[in-house]
Structure 1
């Protein structure tokens, strides 16, 4: 894919100060897209991008930031709903307050940002929404009950949004990354009793034998956001090293 299909478009990326969101913002910028990053830690956003402080858990904050982004960019063609938080545990482990908090950010955060962006997207000739979902939406992972439930909701929400807005010319898709080598995953590994063994276990469960890179996820997001994917909507694109679909025999057999 060349830069031409994307050059001159305008994008909003939530949670773009680090990890996958930052990789997406940088890649869009490299393709000639004007990018506004919405993040609680706006000070960490590189200077080449428009940085706006925002909390996807607060509707007023989201509406103000999306409006400011549209004003700064001259409109919005692309929305990447990337902001999210994690959680570990079985259904016995997470209290109700944590359930409400994770669902509020991971699911309602997508709702709030999209709702605020829709009036601007409707004015675009190349409107696209890309939600960052997870392999946890389609595969049963141990000790990820709450996180999996939130991402399962994002997957279903993506399909519903795609159906609702396809006749308005707005495409809606999601990417389902496997375990991505990001600062967030790094902090989880550092908290493990044996970080090296935990990293090896996470790498081994992906058929490619390694963690996914943030840039690989970003490339999938950029494709789905691009007019080059003009006939792609209501789709979940797995970027998981084959984890969702492959069932390999043990090595050496």
Structure 2
């Protein structure tokens, strides 16, 4: 039970950015709800956090009824409050668009966007009931400009970014804040072998530890900032894409930027 502590509900919590966020917030004295399809990863996380500091549960974010049930379990344990909803779960399946199985395309849309819609929609009552609550979502560096090789993944992350912007305005009337994070190359075991070693040692696509994203979630709760970039230099790409999309397109075609899914998670 939260016993008066602030609470955070995290999807994709069994590994990577979600796990690091759970560890950080527990260390800060928050009560953590950790959700994933990876049950063993959740059990390992619970062992590290302590059963009194967290609630774990398997959650398929694409199943709206399952998401609702998870929130229904979380609410009494958290004392009826939800200070941060962190929709972090996602998958990455890439390749040339014309060669991808359509089932893979739909799976990416279902997890990365429909899953986010499910979570936000079902969490609104709890977020409304909690002063200064934050609806936070993982977007991606691929939401700065459409990334070749991961076109649908990139499209879902653009959708998440656009949704966040719209809800940051709409939710003011409900007393809820909204923000997102756009991570670049995050150093987790999920990346393809050799990806970290092949990454540049500096610049916007250098490899970053997932704890850097966790720090941003913490900072976002104490800020009114809308978009967060990890590393911060990715904001330059976002601005360049808005100012001169054709120039960025030509740079992409020339292989100037890293084009792999940078924050992907396993099914």
Please classify the TM superposition score into its range, dividing by the shorter chain length. Answer: 0.7 to 0.9
- Gaps of at least 5 residues in structure 2 are 241-267
Q: 2:104 aligns with which of 80, 95, 98?
A: 98
**Equivalence map 1:126-145=2 (5 Å):** 126-145=132-151
- Cα separation, 1, equivalents of 2:93 and 2:149: 9
Displacement of 1:52 in angstroms is: 1.1
Give the match for residue 251 of structure 2: none
- Aligned residue for 1:67, secondary structure, equals helix
Q: 1:108 aligns with which of 101, 106, 114?
A: 114
Give the match for residue 166 of structure 1: 172
**Equivalence map 1:72-221=2 (5 Å):** 72-75=77-80, 76-185=82-191, 188-189=192-193, 195=194, 198-204=195-201, 207=203, 210-221=206-217
Displacement of 1:100 in angstroms is: 1.3
- Aligned residue for 1:142, secondary structure, equals coil
Farther off after superposition, 7-16 or 29-38 = 7-16
Q: Deviations over 1:13-63 (max 9, x none)?
A: 011011000001111111111111111123322222310111001111111
Q: Calculate the aligned-residue CA RMSD, in Å.
A: 2.1
- Aligned residue for 2:98, secondary structure, equals coil
TM-score, L = length of structure 1: 0.83
- Aligned residue for 1:88, secondary structure, equals coil
Give the match for residue 245 of structure 1: 236
Q: 2:218 aligns with which of 190, 209, 222?
A: 222
Give the match for residue 41 of structure 1: 38
TM-score, L = length of structure 2: 0.79
Contact 1:173 1:236 survives alignment (8 Å): yes
Distance 1:209 1:104, change over 3 A: closer
Give the match for residue 71 of structure 1: 76
Distance 1:241 1:203, change over 3 A: farther
- Cα separation, 2, equivalents of 1:175 and 1:37: 19
Q: Give the number of aligned pairs.
A: 227
- Gaps of at least 5 residues in structure 1 are 1-6, 190-194, 248-253
